[in-house]
Amino acid sequence: MKKKKEGMREVFFKELFKLAKKNKKIMLLSADIGAQCHDDFRKKLKNQYINAGVAEQNMIGVAAGLAMAGKIVYVYSITPFVTMRCYEQIRVDLCGMNLPVAIVSIGAGLDYSTLGFTHHGTEDLTLMKALPGMAVYSPCDNTMAKMLVNETYKGKTPQYVRLDRRGFPLIYEKEKDIDFQQGFSHLKKGKDLYIISTGRMLLNALDAAKRLPLDCGVIDLFRVKPFNKDNLELILKKVKYVASLEEHFTDGGIGSSVSGLLAGLKHRPLFKPIGLNNQFCRSYGSRKYLQNICGLDAESVAKNILNWISNNG
C-alpha cells in the first residue's frame, strides 16, 4: 500500500466540482464549514453553492426543496451535526419523500479526536441505517471516496456518506477492485476467522489479522446499507469465528448487522463485536491515542480476539 497525502474530503469534493462544472443542476450546501476544498464552489460556481449557516435543520429543508425542483443536491457538515441535529428533517423531508439528496459527513468515528465526544461520529451508522430508503456508505480510502461521487450522483434515494478528514494508505489501488453492487470486498480470505470492518478501521483490521496465529480473513463492508446479507452469508458460514471491528458504538453499528445475519444461520460461527461499548470517549489527544485507550488499536484487537477464542474453546 502506498501513502496518499490528500484527505478523503479533498478527493471527494474535487471530483464533485469537476462533475458540477458539467452539470449545473448539482448543488452543494454547507452548514457554515469553512473547508478549503469548497473554495472552487464558492468562487467559480457561486450559483451552485449555498452556505446555510449554523442551521442544519433548515439546510435539510432547503435541500429537499431543491431536490423537488430537479436539482442534484449534496449537503455537508461535521458528522454529529449533519445527522443528529437534523434527524427529524432527514427522516421526514428526505426519507419520507424519498428524495435523492446525498448527506456527506466529515469526522467519522474518533477523527475529531481533540474536540471531544461532541464532535465524534460514533452513532451515525445506527441512525442512518434505521431510516427507510437510506443508502449508507463508509469508504476506507481515497480511491473509494472519489468513486462515491459518481455513485451518489446516480443515486435515486437518500444517501449518506461518512468521510475522514485525512488520507490513509490506499486499500484499493484500482477502481475496478471496488464493486458497489456487491457492497463489500473480500480483501483477505480466511479459513478460521473473519474480521469484518469499515472505514478507517480497515487498516487496523488488516494489521490485527497479521498478528493472529490463525488463518484470518478480512472483509471491507463499505456499503453498510443495503446490507448484502446473502453474499456475506456464503463466506461467513464456512468459518468458526467472526468478529466485527468499528470505530463506532457496537449497539446499532455494523456489528448489529452482522449478528442479525449470523442469527439466521443453522450452523453459525461464534461472533465477537468490537467497537466502542456504548460509552462516550471522554479523553482528548491524537486519534491513535484514543484508539489505544479504547482498545481499538491493532495489538489490542488481536489480543481481544485471542482471549475470546481461548475462552470459547
- List, for residues 12-24, the tens digit of each pLDDT value: 999 999 999 999 9
Interstrand relation of 135-137 and 223-225 (parallel, antiparallel or unpaired): antiparallel
Q: Which CATH class is domain 179-311?
A: alpha beta
| Residue 85, pLDDT score | 96
| Residue 114, pLDDT score | 96
Q: What is the mean pLDDT of residues 95-101?
A: 98
Check residue 268 and report its DSSP letter.
P
3-state secondary structure of 260: helix
Four-residue CA torsion sign, 184, 186, 187, 190: positive
Query: Which residue has better confidence, 227 or 313?
Result: 227
| Residue 35, pLDDT score | 77
Q: List, for residues 43-76, the tens digit of each pLDDT value.
A: 999 999 999 999 999 999 999 999 999 999 999 9
* Residues 195 and 296: beta-carbon distance below 8 Å: no
| Residue 5, pLDDT score | 67
Q: Is the pLDDT of residue 313 over 60?
A: yes
The order of strands in the sheet holding 241-249 is 185-188, 216-220, 193-197, 241-249, 270-276
CATH 3.40.50.970 domain residues, the chain: 8-163
CATH 3.40.50.920 domain residues, the chain: 179-311
Q: Is the pLDDT of residue 4 over 50?
A: no
Which CATH number is 8-163 given? 3.40.50.970
Q: Is the pLDDT of residue 110 over 60?
A: yes
The rounded mean pLDDT for the chain is 95
N residues, the chain: 313
Residue 181 neighbours by CB under 8 Å, 6+ apart? none
Residue 132: which pLDDT band, with cuts at 50, 70 and 90? very high
Buried b / exposed e along 135-167 (16+ C-beta atoms within 10 A):
bbbbbbbbbbbbbbbebbbebeebbbbbbbbbb
Check residue 177 and report its DSSP letter.
G
Kindly report the pTM of this predicted structure. Answer: 0.95
Q: Is the pLDDT of residue 162 over 70?
A: yes
Which segments of the chain are extended strands (E)?
A: 26-30, 49-51, 72-78, 102-106, 135-137, 159-163, 185-188, 193-197, 216-220, 223-225, 241-249, 270-276
CA distance 252 to 126: 5
Q: List, for residues 170-220, the tens digit of each pLDDT value.
A: 999 999 999 999 999 999 999 999 999 999 999 999 999 999 999 999 999
Give the CA-trace dihedral at 198, 204, 210, 214, to 10 degrees. -60
